[in-house]
Amino acid sequence: MNTKRPFSRRRLVLGAVAATAIGALAACGRVAPTPVADQANDAPTPTAASGTGTATAAAATAPAARQLTVWYFDKASMETAIPIFERANPDVKVSFVLQPFGDMSKKYLAVLAAKQGVPDVVGLDTSMVGRFLDAGENLMVQPYDAGRLRNDFVAWKFDAPITPSGEMPAFPWDLATGVMFYRPDLFQAAKLPTDPDAVGNAIKSWEDYITAGIAVRGNNGRVAMVANEKDVFNAAFLQNGGNIVVDNKIVFPSEAAGPLELAMRAKQAGIGANVATWSERWAPAIKSGGIATLVMGAWMLGNLQNLIDPAGAGKWRIAVPPGGAFNHGGTYVQIPKLAKNKELAWAFVRSLTATAETQNAVFQKTGIVPAYKPAWDSPLYDQPIDYLGGQTAWRLLTDLAQKVKPLAYSPVDALGTDLLSAQVDAAIGGKVAPKDALAGAAAQLQERALRASDLKLELEKSAS
């Protein structure tokens, strides 16, 4: 989701913080979610009244609220979604526990190991899903039957957490569509198109992007096309799928080879500002106009608007990214196998992820684009975005989201991306040949997965 967070697959090879909530859009009508059916064992055994007043009698016979515990790392989205669920289910009290993003995985691992204190529902960033594939209920079977909802969701997002055996341990929530943010004023100065459609047509490929970057640099040596060449690698790798392991085979060397070559060519062309993304120098460079484009998830709009340059409305636009669609993050929701209130948890998950009312209420508050397609029928997605100079960009995000290549999760995604990140840095820095860097990261992953988890992974032939 759109919150601060460290390195993950959704912000591949970056390293520290990510997006905050995007400002609210205009309100829209709501359709109340279906209330949860009462369960026979919910009401406590009545006790004798100690007084004679009607209030005393009512208190003695009123059923206790059913309790549901939810863990997540984004306060704004949950404080929007939970009241909607509670209004539709007045006998339910949701206890929301805000977990710092950096602590979420270790805290969840700890309660799973202890088999106590496990939440009923937990929100998982893309980077966490693979690690917890074994922890979640299989939502494909009764009483969940999640498969009947598949056509309502973006296909790749729905399918990604489904294991080879057909189990679904996590359910889709939001998207993190990749786009190219660009500065029209800097493009105009370099005699490049400035209209979003014209920009998308002029910069379709990464070759076009590098050529445009040379023009931007040539016009003003103080302006760079991109913060650093690793950003080129990130987006291009995700466009290829961004997979680490598929069916016990380490696949990233082949998926990362072309993107790393692109990053090396961008380095040779000198289009980067030599500023590490999320470093202390990065935000000031963006705010001052030293960087012309940002190719990353659309959640970056929240960072620009709320953190980096709140007074910069109108400076930026978005266009189709060079090389085509990709996804740069997103969130899933899991019902742990050790949860105590699974039926109620599933009702909450459905309300959160599969109702237009809740999805669009969260969208209005945070700018988080739902993976639930019926939510897109709202006129909210046709609203102009003031920060983007009145550009109507939400439909571009939903269109691109449906063109993303399929991806798969594995238990070693986080480890694999860390190893890959280090080797990509070394290659771009000229310390190791690109092919050797990728092969070295794959060999390290194979050895560490076997040693730490007794997980036997195969190497691609090209990586051996």
User: For the residues of 368-384, what is the DSSP string, one character each?
Assistant: PPBSBGGGGGSGGGG--
CA–CA distance, 238 with 12 (Å, rounded to integer): 8
The answer to whether residue 229 scores a pLDDT higher than 90 is yes
CA–CA distance, 260 with 175 (Å, rounded to integer): 25
Closest CA to 118 of 335, 333, 332: 335
CA–CA distance, 3 with 24 (Å, rounded to integer): 15
Asked if 242 and 415 touch (Cβ cutoff 8 Å), the reply is no
CA–CA distance, 81 with 348 (Å, rounded to integer): 9
Q: What is the largest CA-CA distance in the chain?
A: 87
Q: What is the CATH number of domain 59-176+329-393?
A: 3.40.190.10
**Token output for 28:** 């829209």
Q: Residue 452: its pLDDT value, please? A: 86
Asked if 411 and 132 touch (Cβ cutoff 8 Å), the reply is no
Closest CA to 79 of 95, 92, 100: 95
Q: Which CATH superfamily is domain 178-327+407-463 in?
A: Periplasmic binding protein-like II (3.40.190.10)
CA–CA distance, 185 with 188 (Å, rounded to integer): 5
Does residue 143 have a cis bond before it (omega within 30 degrees)?
Answer: yes
Q: Could you tell me the pTM of the whole model?
A: 0.85
CA–CA distance, 444 with 383 (Å, rounded to integer): 48
Chain length of the chain: 464
Mean pLDDT of 27-42: 30
Position 57 confidence tier, pLDDT thresholds 50, 70, 90: very low
Q: Residue 16: its pLDDT value, please? A: 29
Asked if 28 and 379 touch (Cβ cutoff 8 Å), the reply is yes
Mean pLDDT of 194-218: 97
Position 181 confidence tier, pLDDT thresholds 50, 70, 90: very high
* Residue-wise DSSP of 262-290: HHHHHHHHT-B----TTSTTHHHHHHTT-
Q: Residue 50: its pLDDT value, please? A: 35
Percent of the chain predicted with pLDDT > 70: 86
Do the two domains 59-176+329-393 and 178-327+407-463 of this chain adopt the same fold?
Answer: yes
The predicted-structure confidence for 327-377, as pLDDT tens digits, reads as follows: 999 999 999 999 999 999 999 999 999 999 999 999 999 888 999 999 999
Closest CA to 70 of 124, 138, 21: 124
- The dihedral through the CA atoms of 52, 53, 58, 64 has a sign that is negative
The answer to whether residue 254 scores a pLDDT higher than 60 is yes
Position 217 confidence tier, pLDDT thresholds 50, 70, 90: very high
Mean pLDDT computed over every residue of the chain: 87
Q: Residue 461: its pLDDT value, please? A: 75
**Token output for 422:** 């280090």
Domains of the chain by residue range? 59-176+329-393, 178-327+407-463
Q: How many CB atoms lie within 10 A of CB 355?
A: 24
The answer to whether residue 131 scores a pLDDT higher than 50 is yes
